Amino acid sequence: MSEEIVYGLHAVRALLERRPAAVRCVILQSGRTDKRATELAELARARSIALETRPAAQLDALAGGGVHQGAAARVEAALPLEEHDLLMRLDGAARPPLVLVLDGVQDPHNLGACLRTADGAGADAVVAPRDRAVGLTPVVRKVAAGAAETVPFSQVTNLARFLRALKDAGLWIVGSDGDAQTLHYAADLKGPLAIVLGAEGSGMRRLTREHCDLIVRLPMLGGVESLNVSVAAGVLLYEAVRQRAAAGQP
C-alpha cells in the first residue's frame, strides 16, 4: 500500500476521526502546546497511533511548502471510489441522489473547495475524469478541511459513458454554461440529480455538454463574466438543497 502525506489541522483531525486505521503516524511541530495541537496529540494516543514531533523546517519539507499549520500525518493512500461501487451506492440511496461532476478541473484548490462545498450541501459524491484533471492530492485534502474523508470521490475513465450510466440510473444531468437560456433557479433540481461543471476557463467539453439533459446559467449582474468553479458549485448545490427543503424532502 502506497503512502501519502496529509497536512493541515483540519485534514489530520478528520483522518483521525474518520479513517484512523489508515493513519500510520501523526507529526506535530516541535514546541506546539496550543489547544488544537494538544487535541490532535490526544486523539492520536487514544487511537494508539504513533506520534512524532519535528522542527518546522522538516514539516515544511513534508508538506512541500504548503501551509501545514504545524500538523501532518503519514497515511495509506486512499483510492478513489470505483465507478461500479458509486453507482451501487446511488442505487441504494434513501433520498434522491445529488452528485457533483467536475469536467477537467485541474486546480487542486478548486477541487478541495468543491469537496468542502459538496460536504456542506450533503452531496452523495464528487466525480471527475482520470485524465487531465486533479485527483486527491495533499493540497486538495488541506483545502477540503476534512471533506475529502467524508465525501465519496470517484475518478472515471470515460466521463461521457459515466454520465450515460447516471442517466440509466434515473439521474437528471444538469450542466452549467454562461450562454445557456435557462436560469438555474428556473430549473427543477428536486429529483435525482447530477450537476456538471466544466474546467477553469474552458468549461464543459463538447461530449460532456451533449450528455446533459439541461444546461443552465447563473445570473451575472456585474462586470465579471463567470464565477470560480467552486463558487458556482456552491450556488447550484445549495439551490438543489433549497428546492428539496421547500418540497419537504429530507
Looking at the structure of the chain, the number of domains it has is 2
101 and 200 assigned to the same domain: yes
Query: What b/e sequence results for 87-114 when a residue is b if at least 16 CB atoms lie within 10 Å of its CB, and e otherwise?
Result: beebeeeeebbbbbbbbbbebbbbbbbb
The reply to whether 124 and 197 lie within a common domain is yes
Same domain, 102 and 66: no
Query: Do residue 115 and residue 41 come from a single domain?
Result: no
Asked if residue 87 and residue 72 are part of one domain, the reply reads no
Q: Is 16 exposed, middle or buried (0-12, 13-18, 19+ CB in 10 A)?
A: buried
Same domain? 117 vs 68: no
Q: What's the pLDDT tens digit per position in 176-211?
A: 998 889 999 999 999 999 999 998 777 899 999 999
92 and 152 in one domain? yes
Classify 2 in phi/psi space as left (phi over 0), alpha (psi -120 to 50) or beta: beta
Say if residue 105 is in the same domain as residue 158: yes
CATH of the domain at 37: 3.30.1330.30
Instruction: Give pLDDT < 50 ranges for the chain.
Output: none
Ordered DSSP codes for 9-30? HHHHHHHHHH-GGGEEEEEEET
Boundary (domain end) residue, out of 60, 76, 92? 76
pLDDT at 66: 80
Which of 76, 106, 123 is the last residue before a domain boundary?
76
- Note whether 54 and 158 are same-domain residues: no
| Domain stops at, among 20, 47, 76 | 76
pLDDT at position 78 is: 65
pTM above 0.75, yes or no: yes
What is the span of the domain harbouring residue 27?
A: 3-76
Say whether both 124 and 238 belong to one domain.
yes
